[in-house]
Structure 1
Amino acid sequence: MTAPERREVAAHRWSAGGTRARPVTTAAVGRPALGVDGDGRVLMTVPVELGDLPTGWRHTAVFLRVGLEDNGIRPVDLWCDAGVPVAVSGLGDRTFGWFLGGFTDRPLDLRRFTATAALDVPGGVAALAVQVRLDASVTGRPVPVLPLRKIRHVRVERPWEFTAPLPADRPVPVARPSTAVPADTPTTRLCLAADVENYRRFRNPEAARAQERFRELLTRARELAGVDESAVRVENAGDGQFAVLPAGLDETAVIPGLVAGLRTALRYANADLNDHARLRIRVALHRGTIGAVPSGWVGTAAIAVHRMLDSAPLRQALATAPRADLAVIVPDSLYRDVIAHGYGDLTPESFHPTTVELPDKGFTEPAWIHVP
């Protein structure tokens, strides 16, 4: 058996004032092992081993991502033997992954694990070309004076690349009828709208970097919440984003996960930024029946989520909490269905009621605001 290949894991802005990537630790990935199950699906297992961290630092989360050549190969199931909380993303897409860990800075008791993907591989494909990348979050000693811990996001400087032949005698995959709801079908969906506070302060080069960080943190937040990013429909507009999440989500898990994921993703994004570059964002969630049309989306939820995002109560909530980086608003329906029951780490007492009123738009909506 070939020994796993080790790569340096580096962090950007690892030290105060620094901008270059610096080695932090090593990680090892073994050549993916291929097998076939009874339905003809290819089972790809990737072994991972985490190296030692500097004294005082511990892993808090690990994100393993796999990319496949676009030759029709798609994952239909993902799992992991890590023994820690795991969320997966990218089912049905050629880029997919496993997120290991939670939403807090508690350390992971994790050194080795294997991640497995069940792949539908079309006939005629003879080999699997795989690209593997590993990212992690590490936590260090508490910051002096403040009851906070340093958090850094680290990643391998270049991915591992493998090519493995597929078993020549594998059976023809069993066709399964799709149960997924087509992305454009009008149905009940959870919508998310977000924007950056005081975006006009940025000069053009700064604005470009802020937009990139903003979009990355929203993607990361959804992945942390276990949302399949490949099934999210996104519309970007400078300092804002509107996202329609997949149908059939478990809101009791996804909504608390989104709020926790936003907090975590913002901490990563702002870890080494000064006050001028620091991102503070407003987020609105809403649920309703919407459908896609050539010009965008139709449905009351698509309208209401933007009205709530741009409302005076939400703007004021973030403006009057200078130490906060996030303010979230939800309609009364989501509060009563999810928040009020205490699912996840969200407590009903951390939300306060308000009313969004826009007389010129004929819009009134009872809502609840949360400022972590």
Structure 2
Amino acid sequence: MRDDTAYTDADDDGGDDGEVWSDVLATQDLVALDGVVPKGGGPSVHDRIGGVSLGRPLAYALEDPGCRRASADRDREFLVCFPFDLEELPDGRHYEQVTLIIDLAEGLYALSLDPAPGTVAADGTEISVFGLGRQRLRWTFRAPGRGGVLRPDGRWAQAVVRMPASSTAVTGRISLSATTVQPVLGGTLLRRAAETRCETPFRMRAADMWTAVTPLARPGTLPAAWALAPYEYEMPKSDEWEPDDEEMPPGFRRLCLAVDIEKYSTRDNANMVWLQRVLLRTLRTACERAGVVWERCGRQAQGDGYLLVLEPGVEEARVVPGLLAALTAGLAAANARASATKSVAGKESSGRKPGSVRMRASLHQGIVHEADSGYAGSAVVALFRVLDSGPVRRILAESPDYDLVTAFSDTLYQDLVDTGYEGLSAVGFEKVEIEIAAKNFAAIAWVRAMRSVAEG
């Protein structure tokens, strides 16, 4: 059922010679693995039980500002995003689990994977990941809890891929498998496993890729999601390799900021690209205005969100209000530009523009470890639990005139806001209780809708 066809550097996947460009790379049937043997014998028949639309991969060239040699003389790195949408299932059926598999061509391998291993999405989807430092990458999305439903649309995965100097394109093959569930008589569930009929090849020429808006920092200041660099050539190749013998990375008390874009998965591809650009530019500018050195912070991209682990020793009473003021100003400016652009194009409409960006933010402090594929520690877990919680989402939804809603952990609120530091008035904060029984998590947070001073 597998097609071993793969692109070579001489191949082209469209876009030239007058061919119409499409955001869709391919549509594939999902065929059941439990085939039926026809009467009278013969090969098994595998029926179609669903489908998937594979988006054309998006790629950005990542340039190291400290290296000016020609690309032909050195390895290069690319951020590659793989979007896909599953077909809606009829008759009460739904997806319970989906696995996206990317087989990179010989010589290519992943320096980072996003979503990262152990990620829990805002809707409760649990994501397991495999392939760091390898050619074969795999993301498995599991429905939350027992009997949960996996949302079929707006799925994506991305990786930072290293390409050898001898190559001119990022190439590989995409396949997908899924488990569907259907209720039957008696309250039981019928599970069926399926996979795409064949692997879909893709090819992206390095010469055609966009350059990332912001170049990567030097390896010494890379985020933990890219922490593979110091030992990437020393990783054992055996499948029996056990990492448990490695020394525990040190833990330091750090101030953490996490942000997430509202309704990101409902946007089209072009809007997602724009939103990620706004997110990164706004964060970098906010750090600059607040006196935070970007290169000294731990950074972990989340696609529609971002984790910033501030350097030790920052003056929190000054930095926190500076960051929040700059974030709200940056969002207001981005939305004003988007609104002006749409008005000039004659596409203005009532209410907020479809291209506008609103965010949730969460602040917390605690012990953080720099692990192999992301930042680890109960403080980071609590930070994202609060960020993705129902009360924080509710307050943003109930504040249509505000671009940012910020949640402080209870301890940070008591340290900064409740003591009356300048720029951190307690006015407007709402105390909320957050409880996620399935995760055995409970916390108190203080939430406030915010906008820039220029907006009034």
TM-score of the pair, normalised by structure 2: 0.41
CA shift, 1:246, in A, is 0.5
2:318 maps to 1:253: yes
| Aligned 8 A contact 1:341 1:348 in 2 | no
Partners of 1:296 and 1:200 lie apart in 2 by 22
Please give the residue correspondences for 1:1-20 in structure 2 after superposition, counting only pairs within 5 Å. Answer: none
Please name the residue that 1:135 is paired with.
none
**Which one of the candidate residues 267, 273, 279 is aligned to 2:332?**
267
2:262 maps to 1:197: yes
**Which one of the candidate residues 296, 305, 321 is aligned to 1:231?**
296
SS at match of 1:371: strand
Please name the residue that 2:82 is paired with.
none
| Aligned 8 A contact 2:254 2:368 in 1 | yes
Please give the residue correspondences for 1:96-245 in structure 2 after superposition, counting only pairs within 5 Å. Answer: 185-245=250-310
CA shift, 1:302, in A, is 0.7
| Aligned 8 A contact 1:185 1:291 in 2 | yes
SS at match of 1:190: strand
Amino acid at match of 1:370: R
Amino acid at match of 2:289: L
SS at match of 1:200: helix
Partners of 1:264 and 1:293 lie apart in 2 by 33
| Aligned 8 A contact 2:359 2:404 in 1 | yes
Cα shift readout 1:311-334 (whole Å, capped 9, x = no counterpart)? 001000000011100000011101
CA shift, 1:292, in A, is 0.6
SS at match of 2:338: coil
| Aligned 8 A contact 2:258 2:308 in 1 | yes
**Which one of the candidate residues 392, 415, 438 is aligned to 1:337?**
415
CA shift, 1:268, in A, is 2.0
CA shift, 1:254, in A, is 1.0
User: CA, structure 1 residues 185+268, in 2 after alignment: closer, same or farther (shift >3 Å)?
Assistant: farther
- For structure 2, the residue ranges without an aligned partner over 5 or more in a row are 1-64, 69-226, 228-248, 340-352, 451-456
| Aligned 8 A contact 2:435 2:441 in 1 | yes
Partners of 1:69 and 1:214 lie apart in 2 by 24
Amino acid at match of 1:205: A
Amino acid at match of 2:386: M
Partners of 2:256 and 2:373 lie apart in 1 by 17
Partners of 2:409 and 2:366 lie apart in 1 by 11
Amino acid at match of 1:324: Y
**Which one of the candidate residues 355, 379, 382 is aligned to 1:304?**
382
User: CA, structure 1 residues 200+249, in 2 after alignment: closer, same or farther (shift >3 Å)?
Assistant: same
Partners of 2:419 and 2:365 lie apart in 1 by 17
Partners of 1:243 and 1:205 lie apart in 2 by 25
SS at match of 1:210: helix
CA shift, 1:185, in A, is 4.3
CA shift, 1:69, in A, is 6.0
Amino acid at match of 2:421: Y
SS at match of 2:393: helix
Higher strand share: 1
Partners of 1:268 and 1:229 lie apart in 2 by 21
| Aligned 8 A contact 1:291 1:299 in 2 | yes
2:347 maps to 1:282: no
User: CA, structure 1 residues 300+69, in 2 after alignment: closer, same or farther (shift >3 Å)?
Assistant: closer
Partners of 2:356 and 2:289 lie apart in 1 by 21
SS at match of 1:241: strand
Amino acid at match of 1:253: R
CA shift, 1:235, in A, is 1.0
SS at match of 2:317: helix
Partners of 1:237 and 1:297 lie apart in 2 by 12
Please name the residue that 1:107 is paired with.
none
| Aligned 8 A contact 2:331 2:403 in 1 | yes
Partners of 1:282 and 1:354 lie apart in 2 by 15
Larger radius of gyration: 2
Partners of 1:205 and 1:349 lie apart in 2 by 38
- For structure 1, the residue ranges without an aligned partner over 5 or more in a row are 1-67, 72-182
Amino acid at match of 1:242: L
Cα shift readout 1:254-287 (whole Å, capped 9, x = no counterpart)? 1111111111111222122131111100000110
Amino acid at match of 2:436: L
SS at match of 1:344: coil
Partners of 2:426 and 2:250 lie apart in 1 by 33
CA shift, 1:298, in A, is 2.0
Please name the residue that 1:369 is paired with.
447
CA shift, 1:233, in A, is 1.3
Partners of 1:314 and 1:187 lie apart in 2 by 27
What's the % identity of the aligned pairs?
Answer: 35
C-alpha RMSD of matched pairs (Å): 2.2
